[in-house]
């Protein structure tokens, strides 16, 4: 949800009021387990971000409904990803919203164009989009996108291995642990395992890069 830099912006719809109350760090509500919040400053204003597990959608809907019926008709909400289609009817009915569903790779391509002065302005790009699986997409300067390749080994593979081999029951906790104390060499073959640490530097590859 975006609101003006002066705090102005939409807020009469129950969904907007719910997001604002859940993302307010000062005096805001205690988040349920697995929920996360953030506020990001942009030239257009503050973007309030609320992340929650799919399994808690019904809980979020109940809380929005408890705030009363929407005034002025349904709120138009942009949505993408598989869940946007799978839960579309449930979300529109429960939240008093109208979902404008955009294909995931199209959303990625449009995102690249939002920074008109960025390093990719006017250039063609090859984008690696990691989700449940992995997609490699070619994006042209006009935002046209074409999936050119991909792999079934992605986030779902990581999560399956985490559940099978570790004690973690939360995806974000597992990712944080991997970044904080994980050692690639304990599970993967590294460049230095093949070339040696010094030789790998000579060929321009980091010694701790996964080989493959």
**Interior CA angle at 46 toward 45 and 50, to 5°?**
145
Burial class (CB in 10 A: 0-12, 13-18, 19+), 191: buried
Q: What is the pLDDT of residue 115?
A: 65
Entry pTM: 0.68
Other Cβ atoms less than 10 A from the Cβ of 112: the count is: 17
Residues β-bridged to residue 47 = 2, 40
Give me the pLDDT at residue 5, please. 46
User: Do residues 53 and 59 make contact, with C-beta atoms less than 8 angstroms apart?
Assistant: no
> How far apart (Å, rounded) are the C-alpha atoms in residues 148 and 43?
33
Question: Helix/strand/coil (H, E, C) string of 145-211?
Answer: EEEEEEECCCHHHHHHHHHHHCCCCCHHHHHHHHHHHCCHHHCCCEHHHHHCHHHHHHCCCCCCCEC
pLDDT of the residue at 27: 58
- Per-residue pLDDT at 186: 83
123: nearest Cα among 103, 143, 104: 143
- Residue 136 pLDDT: 95
According to the model, what pLDDT value does residue 43 have?
77
The predicted structure's pLDDT at residue 8? 46
Per-residue pLDDT of the chain in tens (212 residues, 90 and over written 9):
666 544 445 457 888 889 888 888 665 678 888 888 888 887 778 889 999 988 999 999 999 999 888 777 788 899 998 889 999 999 999 988 899 999 999 988 888 877 656 656 667 889 999 999 999 999 988 888 999 999 999 999 999 999 999 999 888 889 999 888 888 888 889 999 999 888 888 888 888 888 87
């Amino acid at each position: 949800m975006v609101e003006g830099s002066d705090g102005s912006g939409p807020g009469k719809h129950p969904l907007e009021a719910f997001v604002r109350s859940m993302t307010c760090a000062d005096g805001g509500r205690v988040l349920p387990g697995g929920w996360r919040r953030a506020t990001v400053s942009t030239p257009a204003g503050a973007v309030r971000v609320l992340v929650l597990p799919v399994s808690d959608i019904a809980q979020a809907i109940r809380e929005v409904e408890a705030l009363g019926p929407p005034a002025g008709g349904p709120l138009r909400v942009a949505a993408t990803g598989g869940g946007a289609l799978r839960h579309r009817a449930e979300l529109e009915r429960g939240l008093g919203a109208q979902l404008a569903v955009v294909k995931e790779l199209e959303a990625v391509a449009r995102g690249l164009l939002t920074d008109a002065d960025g390093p990719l302005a006017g250039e063609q790009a090859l984008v690696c989009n990691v989700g449940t699986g992995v997609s490699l997409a070619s994006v042209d300067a006009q935002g046209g996108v074409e999936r050119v390749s991909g792999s079934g080994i992605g986030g779902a593979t990581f999560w399956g291995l985490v559940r099978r081999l570790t004690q973690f029951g939360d995806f974000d906790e597992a990712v944080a642990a991997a970044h904080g104390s994980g050692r690639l060499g304990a599970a993967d073959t590294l460049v230095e395992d093949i070339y040696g640490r010094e030789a790998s530097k000579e060929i321009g590859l980091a010694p701790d890069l996964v080989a493959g």
